[in-house]
Structure 1
């Protein structure tokens, strides 16, 4: 599996870029999975559902299966958050895994940057960031793409990964 990341500070357009890239690569015929890192507590399950009740009762892992989807929820119960490499190993094989977040991991990334967010660029200090997708012109030592230029960004990633 090939891995490429989208990184950047909050409110700089990471999720929108991820969504557009997933759609673009799928339209090109690639199979795509994603991993999203969250810095806050998150729960995809809802109180009152049977699966939530199983977790509340102490289950370490709950698999919720239907004709349209399978969800696997794992409770860490005080254990350390699994590293990205371990999460990647759990995925079914696909052509491309797009990773949102994980700023400090060494995989190749593109940084999403919006001038209006008022944050500093990460790229100048991070060689794993191979390009920047921005809503403003930037002078950098690596390619800069229009933040909304999804096809051009996908072309760059495709070439970088030799897909």
Structure 2
């Protein structure tokens, strides 16, 4: 398994890019999983459904299964947020894991930058950013810069820059 991240400020277009990138990688024969960080409480469950009631009643984990998919939800109930390395270790093996978010973590990342956000770019301060996907030029970037709509070029960079999972986990283990 190899790993790469997409990082950028909220509203930069990470999810939009990812939903265009996954089919391109699929056409190239790459099996992809994603790992998304959320900065707030979120629900995959719907109030009124049995699985929601199980979780609300205090179940630590709720596994929901059907003929089409299964999902496992775990309530932390006051425990610290899971670290990226732990989450990566829970995924089933695939060719490539794309991480959306975790922008401060040291894995290889591609910055998604949109001028309209009015936020500063991340890459000048983050050596783990291997490329920038943007609606503006960054001639001083010191790494590849490609247009937001050049999905084939983004896929090329993803495939070239993704790191082996073992290297990502070893680096994270040294920090924890």
Per the normalisation by structure 2, the TM-score is 0.89
1:135 aligned residue: 135
2-side partners of 1:37 and 1:162: how far apart?
19
Q: Which runs of 4+ in 1 moved over 4 A?
A: none
2:30 aligned residue: 30
In structure 2, stretches of 5+ residues that fail to align are 165-176
1:75-130 superposed Cα distances (whole Å, 9 cap, x missing partner): 00010010000000000000000000001111100000111111100000000000
1-side partners of 2:85 and 2:23: how far apart?
24
2-side partners of 1:118 and 1:29: how far apart?
37
1:102 aligned residue: 102
1:153 aligned residue: 154
1-side partners of 2:47 and 2:96: how far apart?
34
Residue 134 of structure 1: how far off its partner (Å): 0.4
Per the alignment, in what secondary structure is the counterpart of residue 59 of structure 1? coil
2-side partners of 1:8 and 1:54: how far apart?
35
1:21 aligned residue: 21
Residue 30 of structure 1: how far off its partner (Å): 1.2
Corresponding pairs, count: 163
1-side partners of 2:76 and 2:26: how far apart?
32
CA RMSD, aligned part only? 1.3
Residue 160 of structure 1: how far off its partner (Å): 2.2
CA contact (8 A) 2:111 2:123 kept: yes
1:79 aligned residue: 79
Per the normalisation by structure 1, the TM-score is 0.96
